[in-house]
Structures are given as structure tokens and as C-alpha cells.
Structure 1
């Protein structure tokens, strides 16, 4: 704990290592590689092995692009429940000017947090925090101190921690975040102090140790009951909250400095995301947009999302009836000879269905029709490319929601991977859609526009959904649980379907005179695809 920054500790390092690293990564053209202290993070994290450091850095850039980290500070809106009840905050500095992040982890309501926010929201909130530290807090501290500050001190206070916080979904989340931080924010932590460790902390640390490098493990110090004295060896009293032995207080005299540190607490149930009742326990699915994806023990299933063009947004929402599932996004790139659905037909189809919000739970039943179109071209082996890395999520309490703007034309799929579980099959309820990047674009065929738009005036949109579903049931036999192919021009199909509305209406009128009324089709399962 000499207090030297990474930049100040480089005087004894062979400069040829930096030149070699830059040569090997020159194709990336990443501006930050011009700074020695930035390169030093990756080299030091891999014991100055250039080959390993290069591999680590390339994997980081891939992950950074996947989560769109460069845009996070400008685009991410912190969920209110996370802002108010996820413990932690930057408060004070050590004697060397390094900022201090204090996390009273023992006060976290792990059940409340995971019932009030999806795993993706929780993860993005942590990425946001780390990026804010790197891009804003450390540069500001460097300017304040007049010397480079590129690391921070971390204090974990485990007071009030109990075995409830060993809940599997939460523990999995903590382990995953630790693993991600270790490989994507190397050498950011100067030293870590653990206070008020409970008797079972040794078990927790044994789970963390395989994830952490030896260098990181050596920076962790578990302090005893006299931690006041130990902390004051590294901190000036005025820079340490009074709650931890210093003299720093909030303007109102609060010794915990609650204006800068979130102290967690019980999450009010008003924040809970109420999930609909399990489809398995009811006769009908509450929202027809959800389709059932059964995934067997040790197996995988692809779920067709839709056909997208570069700039479109793929969005999804799913949950399991029990346990967790791994998922990732894949694409079958569009060949040069292939054709995508034209913007005009997508605009007209969206107009017939009504507005759908990305990732919202208010999508209409027409998604079943949208998913049915996914059978186009699924008769043979697919050439799929992975877009996002596989992510294992606990979504039996709170649905997993997400979206991604794509840059490849093609057919997009979600892969639900249960290959890690040889004892449990999973049942996933999923809905997904492709949102056009420019839904107002004009179609060249104005005649088609006027015909369709004229026919849709005054139509009941819910009735249209039911009618379309009924027609597709007739057109697309056999049953959707089997492999089938729908090889038609989608744009023409939509126009034909809308022109048959009067016929469909007569059919419904005649059937209403019978003893039972027809119901809208509910597609319980997506089309299976073998890749």
C-alpha cells in the first residue's frame, strides 16, 4: 500500500513491453492505448505477459461492445429502487488521494432488489457505476490532487449480513459481477478492506477466490474488531466517515454520510414487479404474446424473433416457471440474393396492430402471427452467428427484459441453453419483436398503401388480431409444434390477408349462431429449429 499510481510506478518497467503490446493491438485503433497507465492495467493484470494481456484486452473490447459500455453513461437511467436501496457510494479519500468506495453490503435486501429489478437492470447499474468511476470520478480526483489518480480504495461492511444473503440467485449475481469486474476493470482496486465479517464469510470467500487473481486476493484485508485503528493508518480522520472511526459527517451531522452512501434497507413492496400468474397453473395464458418454449434436460432451443435490418432494435421479455436459464442472441445473416420484408409492409402491419413499446409487457396478441412468420426458411440447417455471449439468468421472480440495436441484416433468434442442467427441464414463456429503426419510411408503392390504409379505417384492432390468427391457423397447418415451412412473400401475404377481412367477418357471423363462439388462436409453442 505504497500509494503510488499506476503511472508513477512505471519507471522500472521495460518500455519494450508497451511497444510490443501496442504493435499487437494496432488493428484495434483504440485511443486509450496511447496512454501508458492504461496499457499498464492490462499488462500488470497478466503479470506483464504481453500475449495474455493482449487476449484479455481483446475480450474486454468484445464485452464492451456487447453491453454498449461507451454509451452507458449517456443512455442508462438508474432504476429508482436501485438508486435508493442498492448499498454503496463514493465517500472520502485515503492519504494518497485515492477515492473511497464504501459498500455496507450487509444491509442489502436481496429478495426485494431481485423482485423489483431484472438481472439486466441490476447488472447495468453496476457497469454504470464502474464506468462513472473510471471516466468521471478518477479524472476529477486527479485534477483535484494535481497528480494522476487511477485507483480507488474499497471498504465492504458486512455488518447485519445473514444467511438469507446466500440465496442462490443473489449469490450467482455477486459471483458473476465479481468475475466481470476482475477481467474488465483490472488494477482499478488499490486495496480492499472487509469489516464485520460474519462466521460464514470464509465460505463466501472460498467461492470468490477461484475468480480472483492472486494479485487481487493479496489486496483484500479482512479486519478484526479494532478496524478503526487499522483504517486510520491509511485515512486522515477528516476523510473517513465518523461511523468508521473518522470525523467526516454530513451537514446535518449524520456520521454515516448517508447523502453520499446508500445504506440499503428493506425494499417496499410497492417497487415489486408483479409477475403474472404462472401459465402452468391456469387454463389459458393471460397474455397471448407469450409463447411457451420447453427446453429439455441438457438441451437447447432456438426461438425465432424476427427479420431485421441494420439499425433495427430486437427486444425480448421472458421468464421461467422455475429455476434459471442461459440465453444469447443469434443471427442468420441475410445473403446477397435474399430479400428482407420491405419497410412499407412492416409499417402497414404495425399500423394494423397498433403501437408496441420495446420491451413492454403490453404487446398485443399479434405477436403470435409475427412469430409464425419465423418459419420462413427454417427447413434446412441454419448458418447462425452469435451476437451476445451466453448469460445465465434467474428470471422466475422478475421477467428478464432487454433489447439490442443490430447492425446485420438477417433473421434473429434467441437461444435458450439448458445444457448445464442434466436433472431439470425448463419451461420458458417468451415474447420478442423487431422494432423498425424508421417506421415512418415511405413505401414506393403508394397504391398498396392507399388500399390497405383505406381498408383499415374504423377497424377494431383487436378484431383484426383475432382474424389474422384464425386465417394463419388455416393457412399454416400442420400444428406448430412440428417443423414446418412458410415460403411466401410476406408483404403480399399481409395485403391478401387484410383484403379478406370481409370474408372473415362473414365467417365469424355464421359461426356465432352455433352453440359456441370461436376463440382467438393461442400459439402455445414456437416452431422448433434444429441447428
Structure 2
């Protein structure tokens, strides 16, 4: 990758031109009217980035943006940061203004979802980074609003989605950032004496697993109960879920 992207001065200039184009496309989406979106959040994934490649471009990129786009970026978030990033940052830090440095957010591997949730809605974060956004969904309509929650260590949380009609189809997404925990989904009918249905049996969500999507069409009215069991861990996890209900066809 080094030879292909950063191998010589001309290639590095080409990369910098591409990087500026990405920023300019974001600026074109801004709306500088009252109440409009007027700043950008940038997320850079440094996973598996070798030190030599990172050092080659970082200083020029930081200087370029600081000198020419000082107010456009509200936050600059680095995720999956390698251990040596702090050493490189200490080299570049003296050349950065205090305002620029205050915009930096650094997240080590394993804390990606928890970091991104502080600045970006879960429905706008790609599934590979602990969010609920899938490219295929964005082709059809704006993303459905999602809800966030924190599952403390030793805690079990139940999410109840009520008011589901008979014959309606409920589709839900759920994702957990951090270490694994147990997850299950159950449909509970309203009618007394009706049996609960195990839609998804209890099983562990692995730390690297993307958002889970499932759907269910009940024969009678009731509610869906999503359970997150973190009783086997002392560490808190962040989670997000979203859903939509398609009414029964007549």
C-alpha cells in the first residue's frame, strides 16, 4: 500500500488532492443558515495502518486543513488507534493550534462504538463500526431513528416494543459495542393464556459482530421483548436499537 499510495512525492500529492476533495464534498452538503448543519465530523480509521505510511501524510494533512479549513471540522475522531500514534502525535502537536488540538478525539481499538455514539447518532454509523446504518437501507429512505442505552456490568436489560397488531411485521436492529453478552428476543401475546414465542433463543453477541437484524409476523396482538444479559461481566456495554412496524395487509 505504501508504494501504491505514498511511494513518492507525486503519489503523495495525488493522495492529498483526493483527501481535499472528500472534505470539499462534505462542505457542499453544509447549510449556513440558522438551524442548519454548519460543521463536519471526520472519522479516520487507523486500523492496521503501518507507522511509515501514517507519518508520511499526517503532517501535511494536518497543516493543510488547519491553514485552509480551520472552522469547518467540529471534531476529528481517530478510531482503532495503534499504540505508536501517541508518539507521532507528540511530534506534530507543537505545530498545531490549541483550537485544532481541542477538536481531536482519539479512540483505541475496542472502544469505537462507545466513542462514536457521543458524537453521531447510531442510525448514521455504519454497521462495521457498531452502528445500524447499512448502505442498502440508505438507497430507499432516510434511516429510522434509533435509541441508545447503556447496559451496566451485572445488569440485565429488557427492551419492550408494544402495540404490535396481529398480522403486522416488525423488523428490528440491535447492536452492542464492547465485549460480548447474551441476547434473546421473545414475542409476548396480549391475550391471557397465550404462549410466548421464542423468536431468537438466548445466545452470545460477539464483540466483532455487526448489528443483528430480524423480523417477525405474529398471528395475534402483543409486544416484542428484546433482552440483553450482561450479568456475566463487570464491564458496561453501549447498545443501540431501532425498529419499524409494517401494518398487516387487508
Of Structure 1 and Structure 2, the greater strand share is in 2
Structure number, greater radius of gyration: 1
Of Structure 1 and Structure 2, the greater helix share is in 1
TM range (shorter): 0.3 to 0.5
Q: How high is the TM-score relative to the length of structure 1?
A: 0.24
More contact order relative to length (CA 8 Å, sep ≥ 6) = 2
